[in-house]
């Protein structure tokens, strides 16, 4: 010890005081560490955790209330979302069946149809059925089915060959464009000679055509002046509907080879189908 402190007497007074002060501070800090009760930071952290947990619980309650309200709101089963299905208890597999069914362009129009497609249980169906909401036309169709049949029986059909655009607009599936297209095509073919001609109009689906014939009929046939196929010129023949320029040339060549065409059925030998010959029969004759 003497070896390490022998030089202390040679230190300056200021240096000696500094060393003593440093030692004194170390002793005081040691005593304070053991004697002074410093508040633990863990107590503060625990209180903070409790407060945060209460906030989380409050948010969970609010979210639960929102989910209940969302689950109790009415919905159209044809447009149910993944989240709505989850809230109602519809499994992903059951929802997938509905989505596959909807991809075919079909709709479910009753709770029974919904169950048949999705295969949900009877207990789940009983819970969600009161929430199902279908379009008004589905409900009215069910409520007034018999009265609707009686109305259709009393329909007085109009003549499609004299119908106007205004007459066609009430037909389900026909707007102004389609109505105008029907009238223009009627002019082009010089009046409808067959119901088949309606299917030749671009944009008319089979369902719309069916609706048309519920309210219209060919009550009068068009007055078409038929041209003699043995005398008609190329210019006149070109104006006949259903004949392309190539087919016009084929008919004229065939006529020149035969000299006289005695029946339109002879055109089968140049590849004309029975349907084509029927169509030409509305505009052409053989004598």
> Taking a C-beta distance cutoff of 8 angstroms, is the pair 77, 114 a contact?
yes
The model's confidence at residue 40, banded by pLDDT at 50, 70 and 90, is low
pLDDT digits (tens, 9 = 90+) for 162-211: 999 999 999 999 999 999 999 999 999 999 999 999 999 999 999 999 99
The model's confidence at residue 1, banded by pLDDT at 50, 70 and 90, is very low
What's the pTM value of the predicted model, to 2 decimals?
A: 0.47
Q: Strand pairing partners for 228?
A: 285
Which pLDDT value is given to residue 248? 96
Q: Is 38 helix (H, G, I), strand (E, B) or coil?
A: coil
* Local structure of residue 132 (DSSP, 8 states): B
Sorted by where each begins, the domain ranges of the chain are: 62-135, 158-217, 227-285
Detail the DSSP E strand segments found in the chain.
Answer: 158-159, 216-217, 227-228, 284-285
pLDDT digits (tens, 9 = 90+) for 237-277: 999 999 999 999 999 999 999 889 999 999 999 999 999 99
Q: List the one residue out of 84, 149, 142 whose CA is nearest residue 111.
A: 142
Tokens 């440093």, residue? 22
The span from the CA of 19 to the CA of 157, in Å, is 121
What CATH code is assigned to 158-217?
A: 1.10.150.320
């Amino acid at each position: 010890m003497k070896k390490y402190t022998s030089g202390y007497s040679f230190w300056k007074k200021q240096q000696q005081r500094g060393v003593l002060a440093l030692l004194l501070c170390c002793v005081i800090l040691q005593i304070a560490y053991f004697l002074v009760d410093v508040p633990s930071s863990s107590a503060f952290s625990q209180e903070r955790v409790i407060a945060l947990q209460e906030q989380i619980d409050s948010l969970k309650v609010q979210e639960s209330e929102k989910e209940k309200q969302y689950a109790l709101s009415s919905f159209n089963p044809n447009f149910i979302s993944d989240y709505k299905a989850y809230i109602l208890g519809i499994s992903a597999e059951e929802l997938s069946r509905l989505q596959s069914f909807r991809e075919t362009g079909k709709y479910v129009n009753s709770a029974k149809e919904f169950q048949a497609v999705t295969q949900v249980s009877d207990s789940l169906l009983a819970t969600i059925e009161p929430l199902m909401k279908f379009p008004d036309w589905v409900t009215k169709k069910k409520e007034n089915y018999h009265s609707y049949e009686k109305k259709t029986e009393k329909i007085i059909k109009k003549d499609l060959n004299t119908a106007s655009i205004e007459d066609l607009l009430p037909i389900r599936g026909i707007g102004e464009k389609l109505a105008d297209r029907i009238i223009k095509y009627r002019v082009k073919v010089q009046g409808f000679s067959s119901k088949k001609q309606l299917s030749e109009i671009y944009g008319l689906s089979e369902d719309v055509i069916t609706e048309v014939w519920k309210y219209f009929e060919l009550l009068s046939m068009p007055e078409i002046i038929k041209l003699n196929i043995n005398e008609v010129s190329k210019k006149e023949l070109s104006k006949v509907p259903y004949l392309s320029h190539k087919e016009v040339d084929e008919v004229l060549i065939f006529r020149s080879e035969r000299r006289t065409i005695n029946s339109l059925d002879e055109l089968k030998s140049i590849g004309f189908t029975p349907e084509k010959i029927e169509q030409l029969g509305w505009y052409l004759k053989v004598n």
